Structures are given as structure tokens and as C-alpha cells.
Amino acid sequence: MRASSAFDGRGRSIPDATIVVQGGKIVSVEAGRSGPATYDLRGRTLLPGLVDTHVHIDTHFGKDGRATSDGETPQQSMLYSVENAYVTLMAGFTTVQSIGSPSDVDLRAAIARGIVPGPRLLTSISPVTENSGTSDQIRAFVRKMKADGADLVKLFASKSSREGGGQTMTDAQIQAACGEAKAVGLRSWVHAHSPSSVRAATLAGCTTVTHGSQVTDAELTLMRDRGTYFEPNIGLVSQNYLENKSRYFGIGNFNEEGFAFTEKGIPMKREMFKRALTVSGLKLLMGTDAGAGAHGRSAEEIIYLVQVAGQPARDALRDATSLNAQSLNLADRIGSIADGFEADLIAVDGDPLQDITALRRVVFVMKGGKVYKNIARGTR
């Protein structure tokens, strides 16, 4: 295939790129060629398939329009998950990490069979919380998640941002979960808002910290020093809750107090992210926390990071591709346009390095060498 430009996922642009795909893999990448190609994407920019490290693929608005699956059959719930997987892939996300639901395991298997269109799916299945018991009980739970097919272990180490975000799991519980995850070869991924919960997770050697809405420069620097991945989500999740307030209101902690925290959190998280950008060497992941109403819109997070929070587009796109892949231990398979990588390739109308909103115009999606979307026919 050929495009006016390709962004390789690592920071480099390849002008007049020609990419040859065979057997589901990229076999060559060349610049400056012309002539016929199977897929002529002139006027478009090729990118590695985007990666979202944080979605809730099972969440949806049910038959009454509310953000709950109460009263649904398991079959109805699963079909909503299939729809979410489809719109996520069509939006250019070829790999997502679901945090996490037991139903993800069957969805992951169905997508992997190659008929149902969806992104490569990773899942944490069920989380470790402050109610998971003693250190020994937590270690046993982690081993059970591994046996059930989890790709990672999720920890709920602090309260929800709608309840103030204070630390919930003890330091010992966090150490047990992340330590055992490492011992059985799983990554650990920690929901943490407050400074103390972020610090505990980082010092326990957990792989990734998400949210971190209340962190100070000390925690940002600590994560950098320890090599902990940090996944803030500042541009889609809270905004989506507010846009769909009536669909969420009255469910769990989605009450007036919770929504007040959400509104206050938007500028707070933006300022936190701007500080994070100044911490050189901090590994910033692009994860959206997409729930009901946000599936298929994950790119809005990247657009917000660039347009509102001031992250350079090249860095934001690198984070959402090669760095995200690295955080999933998939850096040698996905997230880059390079020889030997999976042919996960998307094309957008325009150049996202100049105009990041080009990510809203995904015209071509290939995953593992198979084309799932192509509305790029003809030239501009």
C-alpha cells in the first residue's frame, strides 16, 4: 500500500511511503516510491493501529438508555460488547486493554477467531480490591486470574474520583498483588487517585498507575525514577459522564456529589497532565477509561491532549502507539510500522501531525493484514 506519508509510531515520518504486507506482517517499508499499489492512500497518512490501554469494553447503554445491564440476558450483554469492539476497531484502535470483565474472555476468543471484527483484546477479568483479603488470599486470587486467562492484574487501590479518591488497599495488599503478578509473569495495573495510593503502587513495583488525578510533582518524579508507566485520562471519560449525565445519574456513586467531583476534576486533571509533561523521561500512556457512551471515541483523548493540554502531536501519537505497545509487553509485535511487525495499519484523512482532528477521519483499518474498513477509494 502507498500513502502520502506514514508515521512510524516511534516519532519518524516516512514521506511517500510504500508498505508491503505479506502473511499478516509488514515485510518492507520504503520512502519516496511511486507507481501502482493495491491500496492507494494518496492524501492520507498511515499510522500503526492505535492502542488504548484502558477501556471497559462491556459497558453500554441498555434498552432503557441507562448505563447499566440490569435486566439483560447474558446474550444481550455480550452483543453490546461485540458492538463496542466493532466501533472501537472502526475508529482505528487495533489493540485495547479491557479493565476488565469475566465476559471479556469469550469476546477475546471470538475476535481472535478472525470473523467478529474487533481490536486485539487484553483483559484483567476481575480486580483486586481492599476486600480481597489477606496478602495470602490476594496472592491466591492473582494466581486464579492467571489460570482464568488474564493478561494483567488490575488493582483498585483508591476510591473512585467521585468519592474523593483516597487510598483503600493497604500498602501490604498492594505489595502482595503486584509482587505475585510479577512472579507469575503478569503485568499489574493500579487504579489510584490520591498521592499516597500512587506512591504505594510505585514503591511496590507495580507496572502501571492509572488516573493519578491528585498527584504532586513528587509522585510524578517517583514514577519516572522507578520506570512506572503512568496513564492519566483527562480528555474523554469525565466529559462523557457529564454529556450523558441523565443516563448515569442514580447508578452507584453517580450522584450530585459524585458529579461535582467529576466537574471539579476536569481542570484539575488538565493541570496535573501539564505538570506531567514537564517531567522528562516519565512514560505517559494513552488510555481513555472509555465506558458507555465513549466507545468508538477513544481518539478524543489524543485530540484533547494535543489541542487542550498542549502535548506535541508527535509525542501524543508515539504514546498511543509504540509506547502503549511497550507497556503491554508487545513492543516487538505492534505499535510501530517496521519490518516484521503485525500489519496493524490505519489511514486517516489528512495529516494528524498538523491537524490532530484527522484522527476523527479514519478511512482505512487493517489488522493482522486483513482489511476491516476502506472508505478511502479514489484520490482527493
Nearest approach, Cβ of residue 268 and Zn ion (Å): 18
The CB-of-54 to Zn ion minimum distance in angstroms stands at 6
Does residue 342 belong to the site contacting Zn ion (CB under 5 A)? no
Residues 19-58 within binding reach of Zn ion (CB under 5 A)? none
Residue range at the interface with Zn ion (CB under 5 A); choices 80-88, 261-269, 273-281, 286-294: 286-294
User: Between residues 219 and 289, which has the closer beta carbon with respect to Zn ion?
Assistant: 289
Task: State how far the Cα of 155 lies from the Cα of 152, in Å rounded to an integer.
Answer: 10
Distance CA 274, CA 269 (A): 9
Q: How far is the CB of 211 from Zn ion (least distance, A)?
A: 8
**CB closer to Zn ion out of 68 and 307:** 68
Do residues 97 and 325 touch, judged by C-beta distance below 8 A? no
Closest distance of CB 70 from Zn ion, Å: 20
State the minimum distance, in angstroms, from the CB of residue 210 to Zn ion.
7
Site residue total, Zn ion (CB under 5 A): 1
Asked if 155 and 177 touch (Cβ cutoff 8 Å), the reply is yes
**Per-residue contact string for residues 234-273; x = within reach of Zn ion by CB under 5 A:** ----------------------------------------
Q: State the minimum distance, in angstroms, from the CB of residue 231 to Zn ion.
A: 10
- Grid coordinates representing 254? 453517580
Rule CB under 5 A: is residue 289 a binding residue for Zn ion?
yes
Residue 335 identity: G
Tell me whether residue 289 or residue 300 sits nearer to Zn ion (CB atom). 289
Rounded least distance, CB 23 to Zn ion, Å: 36
DSSP-derived secondary structure letter, 284? B
* Strand partners of residue 319: none
Of 104 and 289, nearer to Zn ion (C-beta) is 289
How many CA atoms, within 13 angstroms, populate the side-chain half-sphere of residue 159? 11
Number of residues written out for the chain: 380
**What does the alpha-carbon distance between residue 69 and residue 49 come to, in Å, rounded to a whole number?**
30
Stretch that binds Zn ion, among 71-79, 198-206, 283-291, 317-325 (CB under 5 A): 283-291
The smaller minimum CB distance to Zn ion, of residues 289 and 319, is found at 289
Largest CA distance in the chain: 65
Q: Is 301 in the site for Zn ion (CB under 5 A)?
A: no
Give the shortest CB-337-to-Zn ion separation in angstroms: 29
User: Measuring CA to CA, how many Å separate 103 from each of 79, 100, 287?
Assistant: 11, 8, 21
The amino acid sitting at 205 is G
Residues contacting residue 246 through CB under 8 Å, at least 6 positions apart? none
CA–CA dist 314, 58 (Å, integer): 31
Q: Is residue 231 part of the contact set for Zn ion (CB under 5 A)?
A: no
Q: 289 or 349, CB closer to Zn ion?
A: 289
Closest CA to 191 of 152, 225, 165: 165
> What type of residue sits at position 176?
A
Backbone phi and psi for residue 306, each to the nearest 5 degrees, phi listed first: -85, -50
Residue closer to Zn ion by CB (options 45, 69) is 69
| Cα-only R_g, the chain | 20
Beta bridge partners of 158: 167
- Pick between residue 96 and residue 343 the one whose CB is nearest to Zn ion: 96
| CA–CA distances in Å: residue 338 to residues 314, 346, 349 | 17, 14, 22
Shortest-Cβ-distance residue relative to Zn ion: 289
Residue 103 or 336 with smaller CB distance to Zn ion? 103
Residue whose C-alpha is closest to residue 56's, from 333, 267, 202, 241: 241
Cβ 370 to Zn ion shortest distance, Å: 29
Q: Which stretch binds Zn ion (CB under 5 A): 15-23, 43-51, 197-205, 282-290?
A: 282-290
Phi, psi angle pair for 152, to nearest 5°: -160, 170
Min. distance of Cβ 142 from Zn ion in angstroms?
Answer: 19
Q: Which is nearer to Zn ion, 289 or 344 (CB)?
A: 289
Catalog residues that contact Zn ion under the rule CB under 5 A.
289
